[in-house]
Amino acid sequence: MLRGWLLLSCLVLGSAQTLLDRAKQIMKVTPVIDGHNDLPWQLLRKFNNQLGTAEANLTLLEGTHTSIPKLRSGHVGGQFWAAYVPCDTQNKDAVRRTLEQIDVIHRMCLMYPQDFACVSSSAGVRQAWQAGQVASLIGIEGGHSIDSSLGALRMFYRLGVRYMTLTHSCNTPWVDNWLVDTEQEQAVHNGLSVFGKRVVQEMNRLGMMVDLAHVSVKTMTDVLEISQAPVIFSHSSAYALCPHRRNVPDDVLRVVGQKRGVVMVNFYNDYVSCSKSANLSQVADHLDHVKNISGYQAVGFGGDYDGVPR
Amino acid sequence: MRQASTVPKLLSLEPLQTREVPHSHCTSEQLFSPMDVFKINISIIFKIKPENLFLWLLVLLPDVLASATDKMAEGRAVELMKQARLIDGHNDLALQLRIQYQNKISRINLMNLPTTHTNIQKLQSGYVGAQFWSAYVLCSAQNKDAVRLTLEQIDVIKRMCSEYEELEFVTTSQGIVDSKKIACLIGIEGGHSIDSSLAMLRVYYDLGVRYMSLTHTCNTPWSETSSKQLYSFYPHIDGLSKFGKEVVKEMNRLGMMIDLSHTSDSTARAALNISKAPVIFSHSSAFSVCNHPRNVPDDILQSLEKNNGIVMVTFQTQALACGTDNVNVSTVADHFDHIKKIAGSKSIGIGGDYDGAQSFPKGLEDVSKYPALIEELLRRGWNEAELKGILRENFLRVFKEVEKVQRDSRSMSVNEDEIQPKEVQNSCRLDLTYRPHKPTPLEAQPVSASSGIPSVLWSSSCLMFLSLICMIIY
C-alpha cells in the first residue's frame, strides 16, 4: 500500500513537471496575447510618464507586475496596453489625458525596439512574433475618453487604438456601466442610448473592437444585438463562479460564443473568487466555465496586471 | 483667421446632433461672430439694350485695348501656374464646414460649394497644387475642450481629402512634389490646441499635422499673441516662456513647422532665436506697408531671411491696407515688393486666408483668382524664377530643411518636459495627485514573481529525491 502511494507520488510529481514543460513548449510556439495591462497607468503614477528616468527602466523595473523580463518569462507575445484615464477626468481633460497615455505607449515601443513593436493589425502581431518582439497594441478603457465625439473616436483609431471599453466605472452620456447593476447607481440609458448605438456602428465600420468589460448587463446585450463584428471582454471573468457584476453572466456568455467573440479572463482575486485571495486553480475554473458555456474558441486571457492590487 | 479688431456680437449655434452631452463648464460654447459666417456674393447682371450698344462700345474701348495687354500677362501667369502650381499656406474652409454644416460633409458637394470662397473647382481654376487646411478652434475653447474640437477639425479635413478623388492627403515635401492632385496638408492654428502638453504635439504630428501657429488671438500659458484685446488669458506672458521654448524645440525635433502668424513680435523674435529649422508665417503681410499687428516688421523680416524661412503673404484686406477702402491686387503686390526688398524674393510665399478672413481685395475674391496676383507681379517685372519661388519653390525649400532638421535630430531624446502646474491650473484640468478608482496594484501586496530559483530546477530536484526514495524502497 505504502509502496503504491509512493510510486503514485513519484509518477504525479514527474508528470507535473512534464505538464509545465509542455505548457512552455506550447507557449514558445503560441505565446499569449493578453487583453489588458495597466502598466501605462503605473508609468503615469510612478514616473509621470518620464520613461527616460533611471527608475523607469522597463528592463529593471521593480514594484510592478509587469516588466520586460517578466513578459519574456511569461511568454507574452502580444499585449493590449490600456490607455486608461480615471472617470474623474470626464467632462474635464479626459481626451488630452488619454492621448498622453497613447503617447507613452508609443514611446515605450520607440525606447525598447528589441522588446516591443507597436502594431495595429493581426498581421502586425504575427510579424512581431517572428521578430521576437512583444506585439504591443492599445485599448482605451472607458468611453469618457472620446468626450462623446465620433471625430475623436476616428482619430483614436488613426493613432492605433484597436479596442475601446465602452465604460470604465462610470456612465458616459451614451452608455451605462456595471455599477448600475449594483445598488450603487441607477441606470440612466438602459444600456446604449441612440448615440451609443452610433458609436458601436462607427467602431464596427472603423474596425475597432468593442470591449464590454466594465459595462452593465443591458449594455452587453444591446451591443451583442447590434454589433456586426465579434466583441470582446478584455478583462472579465465568469459571473456563475463569482457573482461580481464585473463578470459575465451565462446567458451573455452563450451569445458571445454564438457570435464568435472572446472573453479574456481577469485574474483579479475579487473577480476570481469573490474574496481577497484566490489561487491559480480558481482562475482555471473560470477558463473551464467559459469554455463550457461559450466554447473553447471564446476563451482568452486578460490578466489586468498593474491595474489591480491582488 | 477671425476678425481681430472689434469684440464681435456672438451667436450661438446648434450643437452637433451627434453629441448628446450635458453642458459642463468645461464645454466651450463655440460662439461665432456673424462676421465669421461667410456672406454669399451676389452677382449683378447688367442688361445691354441694342440702341445703346455703340455708346457702350465707345465707353468700353480703352478698357478693351488695355484688356488685350492684360490678356497677354494673364496668359503668361496661367502658363506659369500650370508649371508651378501654388502651395497656399492657410485656408479656413474646415471652419466654414463646421459653422455652416456641422462637419456633415456627406450632405454637401465640395466640388462646387457656393457658400464659401473655396471649393474644388475654384481651387483647380486657381491652379492650387497644395493647400494647408487650418484645423482651427476658437480661443474660447482654451482650458476647456480645445483638444477634442481640434481633433474634430483634423477629422473633417482628413475625411474631406479622402472622399474626393481630386484631393490627396500628404505629409511630406516629396508628397507635395509627387502629387498630381490637390495635395492636402494640415496646420493647427493656435497653441491652445495642445493644452500645454508636448505629448499632444507628438499626437498631432502622428495625425499628420505639419505646422502649428504658436498662438491665435489669445495668449497661451507659454506664448504671447499679437491680438491683446480680445481675450484675457495669461496677461503676463511675454514672448515665449521656458515651456514655450521647449515647445519650439520639440517641434524642431518632430519636423513640425513653427508658424509665427498671430504671434507677438516678442514671440516671433524668441522663436527665431532658438529654432534650428526655418520658420514660417503662414498668413501674414508686411508691417511697413500696413502697420497692422498681424503683420511682420522689417527687423523680423531680416531675421527671417537669415533663418531661411518664409512669409506667406495674406490677402485679408484689413492687414493689407490699414483702413483704406480701395484694396485690390495692386495693394497685395505692394507687400510682395516690400518683402522682396527687405528679405529677398526667396523669403516669400502665399497664404490667402480664404474662408477665414471677412473681406478680400477686388480681383482676389476667392481661390480661383490667384493668377490675377501673378499677372500683376509679372507686370511689375518679377521674373519667372522669382514667381515660381513664391508659388511653391520657396515653401518646398523650407519644408525640406525642416525635414532635414528632423532627420538630424534622430538621436535626440523625446522631450518629456511638463509645464509647471501653477502656470496652467484651471478647473478643467484634473490634478491626478490623488488616485481615484484604479486601486494601486502593488503597494499593499508586493509581487513575488519567481523566487529566483527556476521552477524547473526545483521540480527536477524533487523528482530526483523522490526517485531515490522509490529506488531505496524497491
Nearest to A81 by CA among A158, A130, A18, A134: A134
pLDDT band at residue B55 using 50, 70 and 90 as cut-offs: low
What would the pLDDT profile of B95-146 be if each residue is shown by its tens digit? 999 999 999 999 999 999 999 999 999 999 999 999 999 999 999 999 999 9
Q: What is the pLDDT of residue A130?
A: 93
Instruction: Write the CA distances from A259 to A165, A264, A297, integer angstroms.
Output: 18, 15, 11
Q: What is the pLDDT of residue B34?
A: 47
- C-alpha to C-alpha distance for A309 and A14, rounded to whole angstroms: 34
Q: What is the mean pLDDT of residues A45-70?
A: 96
Q: What is the pLDDT of residue A189?
A: 96
Q: What is the pLDDT of residue A64?
A: 97
Q: Verify whether the Cβ–Cβ distance B463 to A96 is below 8 Å.
A: no
Q: What is the pLDDT of residue A3?
A: 72
Residue A38 falls within a domain, yes or no? yes
Q: What is the mean pLDDT of residues B403-417?
A: 96
Residue A228 falls within a domain, yes or no? yes
Residue A48 corresponds to which cell in the numbers above? Answer: 509621470
Collect contacts of B3-6 with beta carbons under 8 A, ≥24 apart: B3/B33, B3/B35, B3/B36, B3/B318, B3/B357, B3/B358, B4/B217, B4/B227, B4/B230, B4/B293, B4/B294, B4/B318, B5/B318
Q: Verify whether the Cβ–Cβ distance A96 to B145 is below 8 Å.
A: no
Q: Which 8-state DSSP code applies to residue B412?
A: S
Residue of B438, B440, B457 to mutate, interface with A, max A Cβ within 10 Å: B438
Q: Which 8-state DSSP code applies to residue B106?
A: G
- C-alpha to C-alpha distance for B292 and B226, rounded to whole angstroms: 10
Residue A173 falls within a domain, yes or no? yes
What would the pLDDT profile of B153-184 be if each residue is shown by its tens digit? 999 999 999 999 999 999 999 999 999 999 99
pLDDT band at residue B323 using 50, 70 and 90 as cut-offs: confident
Q: What is the pLDDT of residue B403?
A: 98
User: In which domain, by residue range, is A179 found?
Assistant: 30-301
| B262 classed as catalytic | yes
Q: What is the pLDDT of residue B59?
A: 59
pLDDT band at residue B50 using 50, 70 and 90 as cut-offs: low
Mean pLDDT of chain B: 85
User: In B, which residues are within 8 Å of A3 by CB distance?
Assistant: 473-474
What is the total count of domains within chain A?
Answer: 1
Nearest to A202 by CA among A223, A221, A185: A223
Q: What is the pLDDT of residue B149?
A: 97
The CB density around residue B114, as the number of other CB atoms within 10 Å, is: 9
Nearest to A264 by CA among A240, A246, A243: A246
User: In B, which residues are within 8 Å of A91 by CB distance?
Assistant: 21-22, 24, 26-27
Partner B contacted by A230 (CB < 8 A)? no
Residue of A101, A103, A199, A206 to mutate, interface with B, max B Cβ within 10 Å: A103
pLDDT band at residue B228 using 50, 70 and 90 as cut-offs: confident
Q: In chain A, whose CA is at the least distance from the CA of B472?
A: A3
Residue A21 falls within a domain, yes or no? no
Nearest to A175 by CA among A157, A163, A161, A187: A187
Q: B202 pLDDT exceeds 60?
A: yes
Residues 79-138 of A with CB under 8 A from B: 84, 86-89, 91-93, 95-97, 99-100, 102-104, 106-107, 110
Residue A226 falls within a domain, yes or no? yes
Q: How far is B215 from chain A (nearest CA, A)?
A: 19
Q: Which helix (H) or strand (E) holds A96?
A: helix A94-111
% of chain A with per-residue pLDDT over 90: 94
User: In B, which residues are within 8 Å of A104 by CB distance?
Assistant: 199
- C-alpha to C-alpha distance for B254 and B245, rounded to whole angstroms: 14
Q: B376 pLDDT exceeds 70?
A: yes
Q: B230 pLDDT exceeds 90?
A: no
pLDDT band at residue B416 using 50, 70 and 90 as cut-offs: very high
What would the pLDDT profile of A241-268 be if each residue is shown by its tens digit? 999 999 999 999 999 999 999 999 999 9
| B335 classed as catalytic | no
More confident residue, B71 or A302: A302
- C-alpha to C-alpha distance for A171 and A186, rounded to whole angstroms: 10
Residue A310 falls within a domain, yes or no? no
Beta-carbon contacts of residue B12 (< 8 Å; ≥ 6 apart): B29, B31
pLDDT band at residue B430 using 50, 70 and 90 as cut-offs: confident
Q: B434 pLDDT exceeds 60?
A: no
Which residue among A86, A152, A309 sits closest to B442, beta carbon to beta carbon?
A309
Q: Which 8-state DSSP code applies to residue A248?
A: B
- C-alpha to C-alpha distance for A197 and A143, rounded to whole angstroms: 13
Q: B397 pLDDT exceeds 50?
A: yes
Q: Verify whether the Cβ–Cβ distance A17 to B442 is below 8 Å.
A: no
- C-alpha to C-alpha distance for A30 and A18, rounded to whole angstroms: 18
Q: What is the pLDDT of residue B25?
A: 87
Q: What is the pLDDT of residue B465?
A: 56
Q: What is the mean pLDDT of residues B303-320?
A: 96
> Which residue reads 523650407 in cell numbers?
B398
Q: What count of CB pairs under 8 Å joins A to B? A: 175
Q: What is the pLDDT of residue B322?
A: 84
- C-alpha to C-alpha distance for B293 and A228, rounded to whole angstroms: 55
- C-alpha to C-alpha distance for A143 and A6, rounded to whole angstroms: 57
pLDDT band at residue A183 using 50, 70 and 90 as cut-offs: confident
Q: What is the pLDDT of residue A36?
A: 98
Q: What is the mean pLDDT of residues A191-211?
A: 98
Mean pLDDT of chain A: 95
Q: What is the pLDDT of residue B9?
A: 29
Q: A210 pLDDT exceeds 70?
A: yes
- Which residues of A are part of the catalytic machinery? 36, 38, 141, 168, 214, 235, 304
Residue A19 falls within a domain, yes or no? no
Which residue among A20, A48, A158 sits closest to B455, beta carbon to beta carbon?
A20
- C-alpha to C-alpha distance for B9 and A212, rounded to whole angstroms: 46
Residue A118 falls within a domain, yes or no? yes
pLDDT band at residue B360 using 50, 70 and 90 as cut-offs: very high
Instruction: Write the CATH number for A98.
Output: 3.20.20.140
Q: B445 pLDDT exceeds 60?
A: no
Residue B369 corresponds to which cell in the numbers above? Answer: 483668382
Q: What is the pLDDT of residue B53?
A: 58
